[in-house]
Amino acid sequence: MARTKLRRPSPSTDNVADTPTPHPRITISVVIPSYDGAAYIRDTIASILHQTVLPDEIIVVDDCSRDGTVTTVQDLARTAAAPIHVLRMRRNSGGPAKPINAGVEAATSDLIAVLEQDDRLTPIRIARSLEAAKLLPSAGLICGRVRMRSSTGSVRDDLWKDGRLQFADLSLTPIAPSIYRAESADLLLSLLQRNIVFTNSNAVFPRSIWKRVGGFDPKYPICADLDFNLKVARVSPFVVIDDVLCEYHQRHDGLYNRNVALAGHSPAHLEAAFIRMRHALHNYGSSSEVADEWYWEGRYLLTSAWRRHDWKRGYSILCALCSSGALQNRAIKKLRRMVASI
């Protein structure tokens, strides 16, 4: 779909950082959703235990693994320098949203850091996130740069095929060295083009904001993080830290890559497009340039769903178009043109 180049608002320099409020100490929990992760989770937890500042707790939520994930974590918990708790889902949920929600619900901290079972945090992740949270308590999400590593060991810092850097299309306002504030309006427009947070492992957020936006939506098995990021961006600014804070492990058998590699219409791309369409129509007036662009994307998605006999997805798309007023607005415009031509 051809993208309209949109003008981004100039960031305000007023009250860039929040006035700090008295607080004895900000606490942080790391939540790890896990399924058959025994081969990776030892290194993942090790990256947390090697932080310059340790988290208050680590919560591993096992989604009915068939391997030794739980045993591995329990062995690590006996000698770990930070408390490690294991939660076990009653049945496999088919995606990370429910395990993450369960972990956040069980957490006792002010901040939540999500980490996928096969990714790693760089040693400064927790310390830099706590620093950012103190500078901007109103931030709904704290993220940084991501380093990608493949199963062969190769490493990439440039994550985007089009050559743009991870946060190149944001207007960022500095609030401290290497720490920036990104405004809601700018974030929404960027997230409608690409997921600048990139991975769950790059997200730290207040437990209160998770509750406010309704958490991660389990109806999105692949791209629940994109939906969550858009919901948070709608109500609060982000903090962007100009440091590599996590390493993303690109596996051919990972959840996202399994759904991208399929022939024809990729389930991951279709789900992401549906999420963006729904948010665009909801966040912008039905007659706006942004909503108009995503109305046509919705028409394409609807046609694609019908051709695949995906009636459930087609019904969801149709409901989103109707509830936003986009279809009514189109009908009114067409009627006006007809009247004008008489």
Q: If DSSP states are collapsed to H, E and C, what string results for the chain?
A: CCCCCCCCCCCCCCCCCCCCCCCCCCCEEEEEEECCCCCCHHHHHHHHHCCCCCCCEEEEEECCCCCCHHHHHHHHHCCCCCCEEEEECCCCCCCCHHHHHHHHHHCCCCEEEECCCCCEECCCHHHHHHHHHHHCCCCCEEEEEEEEEECCCCEECCCCCCCCCCCCCCCEEEEECCEEEECHHHHHHHHCCCCCCCCHHHCEEEHHHHHHHCCCCCCCCCCHHHHHHHHHHHHCCEEEEEEEEEEEEECCCCHHHHHHCCCCCCHHHHHHHHHHHHHHHHHCCCCCHHHHHHHHHHHHHHHHHHHCCCHHHHHHHHHHHHHCCHHHHHHHHHHHHHHHCC
Q: Compare 193 and 226 and report the one with higher pLDDT.
A: 226
* Cα dihedral 231, 232, 233, 234 in deg (nearest 10): 60
SS3 string, 17-65, reads: CCCCCCCCCCCEEEEEEECCCCCCHHHHHHHHHCCCCCCCEEEEEECCC
pLDDT of residue 149: 82
- Name the residue with higher pLDDT: 340 or 207: 207
In the block, tokens 């974590």 appear at 73
Q: Residue 143 — very low, low, confident or very high, per pLDDT cuts 50/70/90? A: very high
pLDDT at 328: 57
Nearest in space to 100 (alpha carbons), one of 210, 247, 230: 210
pLDDT in tens, 144-173: 999 988 766 666 666 655 556 788 888 899
For residue 128, which amino acid is it?
R
Q: What is the pLDDT of residues 258-305, one digit of tens each?
A: 444 443 456 788 888 889 888 888 887 666 777 677 676 777 777 777
Q: Which of 11-25, 218-232, 234-248 has the lowest mean pLDDT?
A: 11-25
Contact 222, 259 (CB under 8 A): yes
Query: Could you give the CA distance from residue 128 to residue 12 in angstroms, rounded to a whole number?
Result: 24
Q: What is the mean pLDDT of residues 96-114?
A: 97
Pick 28-258's CATH classification: 3.30.300.30, 3.90.550.10, 1.10.10.10, 2.40.50.140: 3.90.550.10
342, pLDDT greater than 60? no
Reported as a single tens digit per residue, the pLDDT across 306-322 is 777 777 777 776 776 66
44-94, pLDDT tens digit by residue?
Answer: 999 999 999 999 999 999 999 999 999 999 999 999 999 999 999 999 999
Q: How far apart are CA 306 and CA 141, in angstroms?
A: 36
Q: Using one digit for the tens of pLDDT, what is the confidence trace for 195-228?
A: 999 999 999 999 999 999 999 999 999 999 999 9
Q: What is the pLDDT of residue 173?
A: 94
Q: Residue 250: phi, psi to the nearest 5?
A: -85, 105
| Residues 6+ away with beta carbon under 8 Å from 239 | 132, 133, 135, 136, 139, 141, 142, 143, 175, 179, 180, 181, 182
pLDDT band at 13 (very low <50, low <70, confident <90, very high): very low
pLDDT of residue 263: 39
The structure tokens listed for 295 are: 């109305």
How do the domains of the chain map onto residue ranges? 28-258, 263-340
Q: Give residue 323's pLDDT band: very low, low, confident or very high (50, 70, 90).
A: low
Given pLDDT bands bounded at 50, 70 and 90, which one contains residue 4?
very low
